[in-house]
Amino acid sequence: MFSYWQKNYFAAPFDVTVIGAGINGLLAASFLKKKHPALRVAVFEKGILPDGATLRNAGFACFGSMTELMEDAELNGREAVLKLLKSRYDGLRMLRDWCGDAAIGYEACGGFEFFARDEKETLEKVKEALPGWNRDIEDFCGLRNTFADSSARAAEMELNACLGLIGNPYEGAVNSAMLIRTLWQKAVSVGVEVYTNFELDQYETTGTGFTLRFGNAHKVQTRRLLFCTNGYLRHLPGLSDLAPARGQVLVTEPIPGLKLKGTFHHHFGYNYFREIDGRILLGGGRFLDREGETDAGHVLNEKIQDYLEGLLGSMILPGRDVRIETRWAGIMAVGETKRPIVKKLEENLYFAGRMGGMGVALGAHSAREVAELIAESL
């Protein structure tokens, strides 16, 4: 039984309800509320803490390594890749402007693509293609000399098993915990209501919007509903090209004298590593078990975790005795292309997400787009 206060204030209908407190959900709610302060906007999140990719990722503020861009261009054409790269770059700028660099632990550390000793042929192809890509990126995004041969930096970082590095000075890294905390605080500061430990079980259409039912038996009325649920809910109306893809990550114990600085991509962007708090964070290897890594559970994959541990010992820090402290899994949303989906699914029902492995860069961009789409219907 609700009190007068609960019934008339908390349980009164929302104008817009967002499901999912990741980068997309928190930013979309914030942008909408900031532009339309009279709206009542809420975010409901199933975890006690936000439990999606934004707090399970590697914190790269990146927009694509050379081998990844070249592979994507073969599949989708160069222009599509350049457009997406621009959205990623613009998204990163928007995110940094909204949050402020210090609040999200942003480091302008630069990014590198790492080539191992047996990857000579690929490295040569990349070096050959590099001037053409730099010209196109300058034309599309205004960024000069995005990629350069930075192999000389390998020695100072004691990457002794490295054949070559291709550097990108425009990439950086964030602290994912600081990012979520800041997005959450900023959302609340503009007047968004954020509720955690609310898992949406069902929604039903009513004459004026939707009734939402949560696992904890709570019921909420809302006029508009926005799903920012990444790959966790795939059977939404009008969303056929959306699938979960699991990613595996590990973090080592502190490594005395670690010289690594920057974010590192390897093998078409599938593997990635960086320094965090004097440790190495390493993820990837999904290509080893694509079929097994397609459900939305946060489950460890032993084969991939072993592969990652092997990379540490053979490629990143050969000869060093390094112990693993933490392992986890996270979920990405993927589809036929790498473009995010920002879409009105039905009357008053919206989706924003599917950002693959680059949601830090793409999140602000798709959140802005969906907030504008909803605002058009007000």
Residues engaged in binding ligand FAD (CB under 6 A):
19-25, 44-47, 50-54, 56-60, 199-200, 228-230, 232-233, 247, 249, 283, 330-332, 353, 355, 357-361, 363
Distance, CA of 366 to CA of 202 (rounded, Å): 25
Q: Where are the alpha helices (H) located in 142-248, listed in sequence order? A: 153-156, 176-189
Comparing CB distances to ligand FAD, the nearer of 47 and 335 is 47
Compute the residue count for the chain: 378
Owner of token pair 């969906």: 370
Secondary structure letter of residue 223 according to DSSP: E
176-189 vs 23-35: helix crossing angle, rounded to 10: 20
Q: Min. distance of Cβ 250 from ligand FAD in angstroms?
A: 10
Comparing CB distances to ligand FAD, the nearer of 19 and 126 is 19
Comparing CB distances to ligand FAD, the nearer of 60 and 106 is 60
Q: Min. distance of Cβ 263 from ligand FAD in angstroms?
A: 8
Distance, CA of 41 to CA of 18 (rounded, Å): 8
Cβ–Cβ < 8 Å for 22, 46: no
Comparing CB distances to ligand FAD, the nearer of 54 and 271 is 54
Q: Min. distance of Cβ 160 from ligand FAD in angstroms?
A: 25
Residue 67 tokens read as: 């081998």
Q: Min. distance of Cβ 365 from ligand FAD in angstroms?
A: 12
Among candidate residues 287, 282, 279, 247, the one with its CA nearest the CA of residue 265: 282
Comparing CB distances to ligand FAD, the nearer of 159 and 352 is 352
Comparing CB distances to ligand FAD, the nearer of 23 and 159 is 23
Q: Min. distance of Cβ 140 from ligand FAD in angstroms?
A: 19
Residue 255 tokens read as: 């490594």
Residue 215 tokens read as: 């696992």
Helix (H) or strand (E) run with residue 165 in it:
strand 162-168
Phi-psi region of 76 (alpha: psi -120 to 50; beta: other; left: phi over 0): alpha
Q: Min. distance of Cβ 120 from ligand FAD in angstroms?
A: 27
Cβ–Cβ < 8 Å for 174, 87: no
Among candidate residues 59, 65, 66, the one with its CA nearest the CA of residue 95: 59
Comparing CB distances to ligand FAD, the nearer of 229 and 305 is 229
Mapping DSSP to helix (H, G, I), strand (E, B) and coil, where does residue 10 land?
helix
Comparing CB distances to ligand FAD, the nearer of 210 and 232 is 232
Cβ–Cβ < 8 Å for 252, 322: yes
Q: Min. distance of Cβ 109 from ligand FAD in angstroms?
A: 13
Q: Min. distance of Cβ 221 from ligand FAD in angstroms?
A: 16
